[in-house]
Amino acid sequence: MSKDTDSFETLDPQDWEQSKALMHQMVEDAFDYVKNIRERKIWQEMPDDVLKTFESQIPQQPSDAESVYQDLQKNVLPYPMGNVHPRFWAWYMGNGTISGVMGDFWASIINPNLGGGNHAGHKVEEQVVNWIKDIVEFPKSSSGLLVSGGSMANYAALAVARNVKAGYDIRTEGLRENNLVFYASTEVHSCNTKAVELLGLGTKGLKKIAINKDYTINIDALKKQITEDKANGLQPICVIATSGTVNTGAIDDLNAIADICEKENLWFHVDGAIGAIAMLSDTLKPQLKGIERADSVALDLHKWLHMPFEAGCVIIKDNESHKKTFSLIPEYLEKNTRGLASGENWFSEYGLQLSRRFRALKIWMSLKEHGSQRFGRMITRNVEQAYYLGDLVKNHKDLELLAPIGMDIACFRYNPRGKTLEELNAINKEIKLQLEEQAIALPGYTTLDGAYCIRCAISSHRVTNEDFDVLVENVLRLGNELG
Ligand SMILES: *Cc1c(COP(=O)(O)O)cnc(C)c1O
């Protein structure tokens, strides 16, 4: 047993000074980790001896915190996902901020439950949500909730949309008949499909509409589908617009969709997981015109706002409908008029989660430290970098841009003329993997019209133009070697 079995056992440090010294060391190491990020590999495969360590059984006895930290240093820290590195452009990720780290640290220290209650944590989240309403130009009377990310934000918004537009008390009755229909383009993010399935409508409850050449939803096709569905006895309820598609960064015509929704009495939802926060960028804001007309917006703060994971947000214009979808107050959650259990609008009444972490604090601290304009400038710079990369691609005869640059996403491939589609796909797939394995850069990939492409989602506040020079140089080198 531990050295002081006669003392009162808790989970606090047995030696506060020693524990504090270890934490100080971690702070030293963590700052070096971020500061020297370029000196380490973006990503590397975990060797077998490291993998083996993750098979050990649950520790039943205490060990000292120093050795736990050594374990972390040896087996976890060298094998990151890589998204903190400036040359990581896969999927769509943010980098984190030091102020975000500080916020997460204090959130864990004070460790409040943001389900509800009259305490400062609630006020911080309320304020952060109010700031986000301002960013997307929604009225103060709207409601909002911080959630884990875009998936949960879209889910919450689509649930409200279904309940409001069904035309009967679907929450009590369940589905009367399965004829409700959501609409989105074929480029819609898969989390919306999952949401519609979970809302009881099945995959068929989300109709995917054809896109234009620039990967935005085809408005005429959308109108036609709605008319046809109504004639066939279906009940259209909602259009999901995407501002910043995950493949190419395309922004649907928000005003055109708003007009259709007004005319047809449909809920207008914007999946702005990538792009809604780009309202902070002077360059992109004009392209997002119409977002303020939406009934709901889902956005991610762990993408282009660089908050440490997880941080997403849903904003709903009609507070009452939002609350009606999720509020359920059993006797053990009834509110008092005074004390901790008082206060209006508990966040647990606006979503599925009862216990909720204090994710607002990192956002609050980061926005206070950096100010919204600096975040906007970081977004704008990424857009310029996407065009910089696009120019490098356009200016080389063996490279080909495969889609218009949307926001900060560029899709291209190595293409020395005279190869078949299959050959090109195989070469580009191999280029992408070797870039990754040689720890040169970590771009993403997607397939557009059957063509495999190297996809760079440039959401890094650390990346410089030279990083794209290095990328292009190496794509050409590898292409030459493979071609
Ligand atoms: C990333 C993304 C999502 C999902 O968000 P998560 O934060 O990963 O849950 C939804 N929609 C779009 C357009 C996205 O890019």
With beta carbons less than 8 A apart as the criterion, state whether 345 and 123 touch: no
Residue 271 lies in a domain: yes
Q: What is the CATH number of the domain that holds 410?
A: 3.90.1150.170
Q: Are residues 415 and 284 in the same domain?
A: no
> What pLDDT does 344 receive?
82
Give the C-alpha distances (Å, rounded to integers) separating 428 from 45, 419, 436, 453, 475.
21, 12, 12, 7, 9
Residue 146 lies in a domain: yes
> Which atom number of ligand 1 is nearest to the Cα of residue 245?
13
Residue 76 lies in a domain: no
With beta carbons less than 8 A apart as the criterion, state whether 114 and 125 touch: yes
Asked, as a colleague might, if the bond just before 422 is cis with ω within 30 of 0, I would say no
> What pLDDT does 6 receive?
67
Residue 211 lies in a domain: yes
404 CA distance to ligand 1 middle (Å): 21
Q: Are residues 260 and 359 in the same domain?
A: yes
Nearest Cα residue to atom 10 of ligand 1: 150
Residue 52 lies in a domain: no
Q: Which residues pair with 239 in a beta bridge?
A: 183, 268
Q: Are residues 292 and 172 in the same domain?
A: yes
> What pLDDT does 5 receive?
55
Q: Are residues 199 and 213 in the same domain?
A: yes
274 CA distance to ligand 1 middle (Å): 7
> Which atom number of ligand 1 is nearest to the Cα of residue 188?
13
Q: Are residues 239 and 143 in the same domain?
A: yes
Residue 11 lies in a domain: no
Last residue of a domain, one of 353, 370, 387: 370
- Ligand 1 neighbour 246 (Cβ under 6 A): yes
Q: Are residues 172 and 278 in the same domain?
A: yes
Q: Are residues 353 and 398 in the same domain?
A: no
Q: Both tokens of residue 370?
A: 């950096």
Q: Are residues 153 and 252 in the same domain?
A: yes
Which residues, including other chains, have CB under 8 Å from residue 397's CB and lie 6 or more apart?
none
Q: Are residues 329 and 245 in the same domain?
A: yes
Residue in the block written with tokens 């990083």: 467
Last residue of a domain, one of 303, 336, 370: 370
pLDDT digits (tens, 9 = 90+) for 397-432: 999 999 999 999 999 999 999 999 999 999 999 999
pLDDT digits (tens, 9 = 90+) for 203-256: 999 999 999 999 999 999 999 999 999 999 999 999 999 999 999 999 999 999
Number of domains in the chain: 2
Q: Are residues 320 and 382 in the same domain?
A: no
**3-state SS, residue 100:** helix
The least confident of 81-90, 248-257, 272-281, 329-338 is 329-338
- Ligand 1 neighbour 151 (Cβ under 6 A): yes
DSSP H helices in 356-464: 360-394, 421-437
Nearest Cα residue to atom 12 of ligand 1: 273
Closest CA to 86 of 434, 399, 385, 445: 385
Q: What is the CATH number of the domain that holds 348?
A: 3.40.640.10
pLDDT band at 332 (very low <50, low <70, confident <90, very high): confident
Q: Are residues 325 and 434 in the same domain?
A: no
Amino acid sitting at position 334: E
- Ligand 1 neighbour 390 (Cβ under 6 A): no
Residue 63 lies in a domain: no
> Which atom number of ligand 1 is nearest to the Cα of residue 150?
5
List the 312-316 sheet strands across, edge first.
Answer: 143-147, 312-316, 296-300, 267-272, 235-242, 180-185, 206-209
Q: Identify the domain containing residue 105 by its residue range.
A: 100-370
pLDDT band at 192 (very low <50, low <70, confident <90, very high): very high
Q: Are residues 319 and 426 in the same domain?
A: no
> What pLDDT does 1 receive?
45
- Ligand 1 neighbour 409 (Cβ under 6 A): no
For a ligand 1 pocket test, name from 151, 252, 270 the mutation site with the most ligand atoms within 8 angstroms of its C-beta: 151
Which residues, including other chains, have CB under 8 Å from residue 113's CB and lie 6 or more apart?
355, 356
> Which atom number of ligand 1 is nearest to the Cα of residue 154?
10
